[in-house]
């Protein structure tokens, strides 16, 4: 076991472990730490706790110090500076006539580097832009192209549910989402209904997937051959949440499918959930 604290550098970002170095640190306190990008100031989201060695990626770095009032003032000055740099960044992009959209600016706490985040539909030759920015700020400059999901996370907004984007309000990391999940949850494979503002599959498809997988394991799928109290038949409809399946009986194929509870039927040969080639092609870009 090892003692750690969890530190976050963005409002809704990944949590990194650091050693508290004999300090008792409370949640929401700020600490100064050394990262791969340089010295940074982050907020403690997980106070002192013991975790298994396997949960820590070695080497575990120690915090430099608990942030002082002066450190917090420096952090606030950096935030104001970032807003000013964003204006210059946008102006320089327009000046160089580059097809890129400025998204965010991130100044390291010690001022050793400035990161410029942007989005673009394709690769952009920004070498001249970097030279201009380096001449203005005289520090290390890094331009980083981000995808549409990261853009939505940084800019924020409201989803079709009326709430703030999950990625911008509480999701520390993106979870993989697939067309198969939408199909298993019996959702309409309409891009407008299953994609978020970013144009990719909604992150919330992941939330109930474990429950749906459990229900799928005990519920006959459409096309399954089952045994009922009235004889054998083929499942024509299946509702995972209510557990009701509709079966067209072999002995009376012209009659309407009869409803049964999943607990009252025996699966002889289960069906399969398939996404056909046309659907995959039409929804190809949603999983990127």
Counting residues of the chain whose pLDDT is more than 90, the rounded percentage is: 75
Per-residue pLDDT at 38:
86
Structure token digits, residue 105: 């600016």
Q: Global pTM?
A: 0.79
217-269 has the same fold as 73-146: no
Res. 210 pLDDT band, cuts 50 70 90: very high
DSSP 76-127: HHHHHHHHHHHHHHHHHHHHTT-S-EEEEEEE-TTSSEEEEEEE-SS----H
| Contact in structure between 105 and 85 (CB atoms under 8 Å) | yes
pLDDT at 288 over 70: no
pLDDT at 51 over 70: yes
* 72-110 residue pLDDT tens: 999 999 999 999 999 999 999 999 999 999 999 999 998
Structure token digits, residue 146: 């981000």
Q: What is the mean pLDDT of the chain?
A: 91
pLDDT at 8 over 90: yes
**Minimal CA–CA distance to 103: which of 176, 43, 25, 155?**
155
| Contact in structure between 162 and 131 (CB atoms under 8 Å) | no
Return the H-helix or E-strand segment holding 282: helix 277-282
Per-residue pLDDT at 36:
85
Q: How far apart are CA 155 and CA 147, in angstroms?
A: 12
pLDDT at 278 over 90: no
Per-residue pLDDT at 238:
92
pLDDT at 58 over 90: no
Per-residue pLDDT at 175:
86
Res. 218 pLDDT band, cuts 50 70 90: very high
Per-residue pLDDT at 173:
85
Any alpha helices (H) in 138-186, and if so which ranges?
Answer: 148-155, 166-169, 179-184
Per-residue pLDDT at 201:
93
| Contact in structure between 46 and 15 (CB atoms under 8 Å) | yes
| Contact in structure between 144 and 130 (CB atoms under 8 Å) | no
Per-residue pLDDT at 91:
96
**Architecture of the domain defined by 73-146:** 2-Layer Sandwich (3.30)
Multiple choice CATH, 217-269, 2.30.30.30, 3.40.50.2300, 1.20.1290.10, 3.30.70.340: 2.30.30.30
Res. 48 pLDDT band, cuts 50 70 90: very high
* 125-161 residue pLDDT tens: 999 999 999 999 999 999 999 999 999 999 999 998 8
pLDDT at 277 over 80: no
Q: What is the mean pLDDT of residues 204-221?
A: 94
Residues 6+ apart with CB under 8 A from 30: 41, 42, 43, 44, 66, 67, 71, 72, 75
* Biggest CA-to-CA distance, the chain: 83
Q: What is the mean pLDDT of residues 218-222?
A: 93
Domain boundaries, the chain: 2-67, 73-146, 217-269
Q: How far apart are CA 147 and CA 288, in angstroms?
A: 9
| Angle, helix 69-95 to helix 127-137, in steps of 10 degrees | 140
């Amino acid at each position: 076991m090892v003692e750690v604290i969890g530190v976050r550098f963005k409002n809704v970002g990944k949590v990194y472990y650091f050693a508290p170095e004999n300090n008792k640190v409370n949640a929401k306190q700020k600490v100064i730490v050394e990262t791969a990008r340089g010295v940074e100031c982050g907020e403690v989201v997980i106070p002192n706790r013991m975790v298994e060695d396997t949960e820590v990626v070695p080497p575990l770095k120690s915090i430099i110090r608990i942030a002082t009032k002066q450190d917090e003032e420096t952090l606030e000055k950096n935030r104001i500076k970032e807003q000013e740099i964003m204006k210059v960044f946008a102006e320089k992009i327009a000046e160089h006539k580059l097809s890129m959209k400025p998204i965010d600016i991130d100044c390291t706490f010690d001022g050793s580097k400035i990161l410029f985040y942007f989005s673009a539909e394709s690769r952009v030759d920004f070498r001249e832009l970097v030279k201009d920015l380096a001449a203005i700020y005289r520090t290390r400059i890094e331009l980083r192209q981000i995808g549409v999901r990261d853009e939505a996370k940084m800019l924020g907004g409201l989803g079709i549910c009326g709430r703030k984007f999950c990625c911008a309000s509480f999701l520390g990391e993106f979870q993989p989402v697939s067309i198969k999940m939408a199909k298993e949850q019996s959702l309409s494979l309409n891009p407008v209904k299953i994609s978020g503002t970013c144009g990719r599959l909604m992150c919330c498809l992941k939330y109930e997937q474990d429950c749906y997988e459990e229900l799928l394991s005990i519920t006959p799928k459409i096309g399954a051959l089952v045994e009922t109290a009235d004889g054998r038949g083929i499942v024509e409809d299946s509702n995972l949440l209510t557990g009701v399946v509709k079966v067209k009986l072999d002995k009376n194929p012209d009659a309407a499918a009869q409803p049964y509870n999943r607990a009252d039927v025996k699966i002889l040969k289960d069906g399969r959930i398939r996404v056909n080639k046309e659907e995959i092609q039409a929804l190809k870009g949603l999983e990127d």
